Copies of this chain bind each other. A is one copy, B any other.
């Protein structure tokens, strides 16, 4: 993976793909599937909703770190599998044949097979809404990411892959942040 300028990392989340969020307590790594994500600013400040019913919740609260990884369409069954078993009794990296890679700043691992990874620090937790607010600090992307497509969850067990791309930069030049 090559480094992606952190000012571009919001562009990984804004389109709304399914994400895989990794955490680590010591050598015990875990992954959860999250599609309830949010861009909150260009820093990037990113958010997602999860609660204490999720095994990763405690690791997030304890370590205040995670990695948000973006799986590709061919990883759809893996993303669903990760979302339907628990880190309480499963080593998800082993079960799903994923490769944890050392991150630069956080202790949570990158997922080598994903299209991209964002190292994040927890900067706030809005308990009333189960909302984790994170700052992206480093980002990494597959140099061949343009050949891969992300996956969007509909919520009823169906998913939509990315389709055709459209370039409307000329129409919204003044709204594009300098780093994008």
A positions within 8 Å CB-CB of B: 8, 10-11, 14-17, 35-41, 45, 47-49, 73, 76-77, 80-81, 83-84, 124, 126, 128-131, 133, 149, 151-177, 180
Contact = CB atoms under 8 A, between A and B. Distances in A.
Contact of A168 (B128, B157, B180): B157
Nearest to A11: B155
B129 A168 contact: no
Q: Across chains A and B, which 9 residue pairs bring their CB atoms closest together, nearest first?
A: A16-B16, A163-B163, A157-B169, A38-B38, A15-B152, A156-B180, A11-B155, A161-B163, A14-B155
Contacts of A80: 168, 171-172
Given A152-B152, A161-B166, 6 more contacts: A41-B49, A47-B129, A80-B168, A157-B168, A159-B165, A160-B165
Nearest to A168: B80
Nearest to A164: B161
A84 B160 contact: no
Q: How many chain copies?
A: 2
Contact of A156 (B83, B157, B176): B176
Given A38-B38, A83-B175, A159 B168 contact: yes
Contact of A157 (B39, B149, B167): B167
A14 B40 contact: no
Contacts of A81: 171
Contacts of A48: 38
B174 A84 contact: yes
Nearest to A126: B126
Contact of A14 (B154, B162, B163): B154
Contact of A47 (B10, B38, B160, B172): B38
A157 B129 contact: no
